[in-house]
Amino acid sequence: HAVYPFTDVVSQEREQQELKETLLSLQPMVKEHPQESFLDFLSQYLGAAEASRILNATGYDALQLPIVTAAMAYDIIKKHPETQNCTENAGNEWRYATDGYGHLLGQLQRQALAAGVEFRLEHRLLSMEQSGADHLLTFSHKGEVQMQRARHVILAMPPTAMAGLNLDFPAAWSPFQYDSLPLFKGFLTFEKSWFQCLGLSDKMLMANNPLRKIYFKSDKYLLFYTDSQSALYWRDSVEQGEEIYLERVRRHLEEALPLMGKPLPPIQSHFYKHWPHGVEFYLEPEAKHPTALVHPSGIIA
């Protein structure tokens, strides 16, 4: 493992320092607004236009949601490496696995296989029905529909994905409500390592466009990471075709980067991932929620 580098945020203006000063000055007033959204909280003290600018400067679209109170927003900002410098948590050190988590997952899978666990990958659960003492599960697998009987079923899946099953979720399971946010990440590699010349290696740039947060991993690759509306923008871009997606990526990068009027160097390769249920959350964050839910038919989630 190594020190996670992306706590060092680069901004074209003094946005980060202004953001820090504003958030610290307003923090004592949070307790006076326990139910207000973060957007309403900021608007009350700063006006709507400045509140919107502050929210954009955090890089997280989710902070604009009505459900996110001021207290929740400060907690989120304190606990993310990209924004912790705007709080009293500045200087906290994060660490990451230098080679990723593939080896760890592979080792865990081998241990499970040795213990008799069977893995059936790339299956999508479509529905479940009671069949005597059993549950009849219907899966989609590479375009084919498959049926599977099971005496006991434990589900580990996003709550909002469960809403798509015929299990009356959440009404038959829980008195609480659930929602989720989409996430999108895009990776780009280039023929030449031009980040270093701009002083961007191992730093993160906040962008006031749909790229939102741009990470420069040494001289290896560029990554942008988005949530909520920006994630939906990139999902829609991908659905319109790779050419449109890459054209938008290039255009927004040229807007955000200090390229001094020069075009972005040619993209060598790219990879992206969209998570429809990227972040799951309760709509009643203050309530005490159970760690597992049980359906009347005995299914555990």
Q: Which two tokens stand for residue 100?
A: 């990723």
What average pLDDT does the segment 127-133 reach?
93
Residue 266 has pLDDT above 60, yes or no: yes
Question: What is the average pLDDT across 283-290?
Answer: 78
- Could you tell me if residue 128 is inside a domain? no
56 confidence band (pLDDT: 50, 70, 90): confident
- Judge whether residue 197 has pLDDT over 90: no
- Residue 144 located in a structural domain: no
Is 83 a domain residue?
yes
Nearest to 180 by CA among 65, 295, 59: 65
The pLDDT assigned to 10 comes to: 76
CATH at 227 = 3.90.660.10
Are the beta carbons of 167 and 149 closer than 8 angstroms? no
- State percent of the chain over pLDDT 90: 61
Domain of 191?
179-282
3 state DSSP class of 281: strand
The residue with tokens 């659960």 is 125
Domain co-membership, 185 together with 277? yes
Residue 168 main-chain phi, psi, to 5 deg: 50, 55
Q: Give domain status of residue 100, yes or no.
A: no
With a pLDDT cut of 70, the percent of the chain lying above it is 98
Give yes or no for residue 12 having a pLDDT over 60. Answer: no
* pLDDT, mean of residues 32-51: 93
Q: Are residues 277 and 185 in the same domain?
A: yes
Confidence of residue 290 (pLDDT cuts 50, 70, 90): confident
Of 95, 129, 147, the one marking the end of a domain is: 95
Task: Look at residue 171 and tell me whether its pLDDT is greater than 90.
Answer: yes
pLDDT at 286 over 80: no
Is 122 contained in some domain?
A: no
Q: Could you tell me if residue 80 is inside a domain?
A: yes
In a domain, 146, yes or no: no
Residue 122 CA to residue 119 CA, distance in Å, equals 10
Query: By 3-state DSSP, what share of the chain in percent is helix, strand and coil, each rounded to 5?
Result: 35, 25, 40
- 22 within 8 A of 59, measured Cβ to Cβ: no
Instruction: Say how many domains are in the chain.
Output: 2
pLDDT exceeds cutoff 80 at 15: no
pLDDT category, 63, cuts 50, 70, 90?
very high
What pLDDT shows up at residue 190? 93
Q: Give the distance between the most distant pair of CA atoms in the chain.
A: 70
Q: Is the model's pLDDT at 13 over the cut of 70?
A: no
Give the pLDDT of residue 16: 72
Given this model, what pLDDT does residue 287 score?
77
User: Which ranges of the chain would DSSP assign to H, the alpha helix?
Assistant: 15-26, 38-46, 48-58, 70-78, 102-114, 159-162, 228-239, 242-256
Q: Mean pLDDT over residues 140-160, rounded?
A: 94
Looking at residues 146-174, what average pLDDT do you find? 92
Mean pLDDT of the region 112-117: 98
Give Cβ neighbours of residue 200 (< 8 Å, ≥ 6 apart): 10, 216
Residue 240 identity (one-letter amino acid): Q
Residue 70: per-residue pLDDT: 92
Q: What was the pLDDT predicted at 192?
A: 85
End-to-end CA distance of the chain: 33
Beta 2-3 vs 95-96: how paired, if at all?
Answer: antiparallel
* Res 283: pLDDT: 78
C-beta of residue 176 within 8 angstroms of C-beta of residue 291:
no
Q: Say what the pLDDT of residue 193 is.
A: 83
Residues forming beta bridges with residue 147, ordered by sequence position? 138
Question: Residue 171 is which amino acid?
Answer: A
- 192 within some domain: yes
Mean pLDDT calculated for residue range 141-169: 93
Orientation angle between helical segments 70-78 and 38-46, nearest 10 degrees? 100
Neighbours of 3 (CB within 10 A): 10
Predicted confidence at residue 14, as pLDDT, reads 63
Average pLDDT over residues 270-275: 96
